[in-house]
Amino acid sequence: MSYRQFAIFLKNELLPVFADYRWKPLAFTCDGGRVAVEAETIGRAKDGREYQQQHHILFVVKRGKIVSVRDYLDTLYSARFFATSIPPKDRLTNSEAELQNDKSAHGNGNGSDTGHDGETAKMKL
């Protein structure tokens, strides 16, 4: 997904679930226009459940700007955690609307060379 899609997903879908959420980078590897980050997220959902996840995040950078983000993590753990935390459907359409507005203002809005559209910015379980 593009950096813009990633930011919209975080703002509209992920962060509202948590009372506390921290992202801690552990290691970085840079090679040309690619930056790999090993990271850990630790959080507490608004309902009190604890969340801890290990990530490998790949950022692709072109001309000094992030153009795509890929986040590799334990999807089964996340699916189980978010199964009781997923915002209602109308919350997901807020992200879709924001992405559509972005596309209208800036061309196709995907900002990446992967050809993905806004559909990749929402979590479906």
Alpha helices in 16-110 (DSSP H): 75-82, 89-105
Report the alpha-carbon distance of residue 79 to residue 70 in Å, rounded: 17
With beta carbons less than 8 A apart as the criterion, state whether 70 and 115 touch.
no
Q: What is the pLDDT of residue 104?
A: 65
Report the alpha-carbon distance of residue 111 to residue 78 in Å, rounded: 26
Of 59-63, 81-85, 94-98, the one with minimum mean pLDDT is 94-98
Residue among 5, 75, 85 nearest 46 (CA): 85
- Is 50's pLDDT higher than 70? yes
Q: Phi and psi at residue 60, in whole multiples of 5°?
A: -105, 125
Domain residue ranges of the chain, discontinuous segments joined by + = 1-78
pLDDT digits (tens, 9 = 90+) for 7-24: 888 888 888 889 999 999
pLDDT-based confidence at residue 1 (cuts at 50, 70, 90): confident
Write the class of the CATH domain 1-78. Answer: alpha beta
Q: What is the pLDDT of residue 109?
A: 45
pLDDT digits (tens, 9 = 90+) for 88-122: 554 445 556 666 666 666 555 444 333 333 333 33
Q: Looking at the whole model, is its pTM more than 0.85?
A: no
- Is 36's pLDDT higher than 90? yes
